[in-house]
Copies of this chain bind each other. A is one copy, B any other.
Amino acid sequence: MNFEPAVAKGFQDFLPPESQKRAAVRRIMEKYFRLYGFQPIETPTIEYDELMRSGNLEEDEAVSDRFRLKDRGSRNLGLRYEFTFQLARILKQNPNLKLPFRRYQIGSVFRDEPISSSRFREFTQCDIDIVGDSSTEAEVDCLAAFSDILKELKIKPRIKVNNKKLIISILESLKIQNKDSVMKELDKIDKIGEDEVKGNIRKYADTNQVLALFKLMEKPMDFFVKNLFDGAEEISSLLEKAKAYGFKVEFDPYIMRGLSYYTGNIFEITAEGQKSSIAGGGRYDKLVGKYLAREIPAVGISFGLERLTSLAKIKPKPTKTIVISIEQDKEAINLAKKLRKNNISCILSFNRPGKALDYANSYKIPYAIFIGQEEMKSKKYKLRDMEKGQESLLTEKQILKKLEK
């Protein structure tokens, strides 16, 4: 065999303990999604290629970086690069779906990005969306759910908000053309700095316009509300409602987000002390209804499991105990069954005790229980605390009580 087995370029395995932490983060996310009344959905990994490139999304990098393939019937297919475009298809195909539709989805998305990039070509995206609700309350609801998740993951967030309409009306008030190009330049300010951005914008605006633009961008929220800038009221309402919910949102006029489909408030969430964002989202009222004769408002947040897992300050729990049978298999099996019934995870070992203890050490299993002839007779089992090295003789009841914590 000449082939040297390797993971495909740009892809990765997740093995313990990393994979255990990922699973724990996922469980916490799903818990809050359920508590907030979001329902799970699953969409195909593969879609017709035409579905992915239709509309004005073609310009986005994510779309053009999709993987393409054909099936045996020579159909043009592609791997999903995100989940949102599939919502438009679902609403068209399920006209009776009751709105607002609160959904969450967790799964793999794919981008055939150049190999040089440090990003992976398959990553796990987590989305929550409320479709069919145009209120600011729906926006705050998404942010609140995500805030609760971050709290449990012990990640301190900074939630920044901007508004697509506001930026457009700022540019319009200054009579700046090429609004899309200018917004793209403004989006780079974190990466390349203000001076370079100003220089770039000079391609589309004269010096006075650029100066006036940056002066305007420094104004506080109140200014835009008072002067009736479009979208300002939406941000202001969001800031206020988030306060009622008990979390802080900051206005930042430089937040643009890459995707062109946002129509109102836009969110970007960073972790304290981190530059790159951990989640983003916003209102997109023109995408979901695109195959129907009507507009359907929608708002959502999307975040990456990889990034969230790397920042989460939680420790996944290892298997709680190993039950070592010393020729008392039936008794060991019975104890294992009882442990599991009491929600205590355990592995059975019929091996030499030394080997079993070595195994427990390598997988950080905190307890070992020995069941031999003596234990059978006395109805007390030897419980070994693997870290402290202490052993104690306990009844079954005592063991269950001790390990239940």
Distance in Å: Cβ of A209 to nearest Cβ of chain B: 36
Set of chain B residues within 8 Å of A350, measured between Cβ atoms: 135, 137
Set of chain B residues within 8 Å of A54, measured between Cβ atoms: 1, 3, 5
Contact partner, A102, options B34, B75, B115, B347, Cβ 8 Å: B347
Distance in angstroms between the alpha carbons of A115 and B114 in the assembled complex: 33
Contact partner, A244, options B36, B330, B362, Cβ 8 Å: B330
Set of chain B residues within 8 Å of A319, measured between Cβ atoms: 34, 37, 39
Q: Say yes or no for A333: interface residue by CB 8 A criterion.
A: yes
Set of chain B residues within 8 Å of A354, measured between Cβ atoms: none
Set of chain B residues within 8 Å of A322, measured between Cβ atoms: 37
Which of A92-100, A258-266, A380-388 forms contacts with chain B? A92-100
Set of chain B residues within 8 Å of A346, measured between Cβ atoms: 35-37
- Give chain A interface residues in 99-127, CB to chain B under 8 Å: 100, 102-103, 107-108, 110, 112, 114-115, 121-122, 124
Distance in angstroms between the alpha carbons of A175 and B383 in the assembled complex: 55
Instruction: Give the contact-size bracket for chain A.
Output: 35 or more
Chain A residues engaging chain B, CB cutoff 8 angstroms = 1, 3, 5-16, 19-20, 22-23, 27, 30, 32, 34-37, 39-48, 50-51, 54-55, 67-69, 71-73, 75, 77, 86, 88-90, 92-94, 97-98, 100, 102-103, 107-108, 110, 112, 114-115, 121-122, 124, 135, 137, 141, 148, 241, 244-246, 291, 319, 322, 329-330, 333, 337, 340, 343-348, 350, 359, 362-363, 365
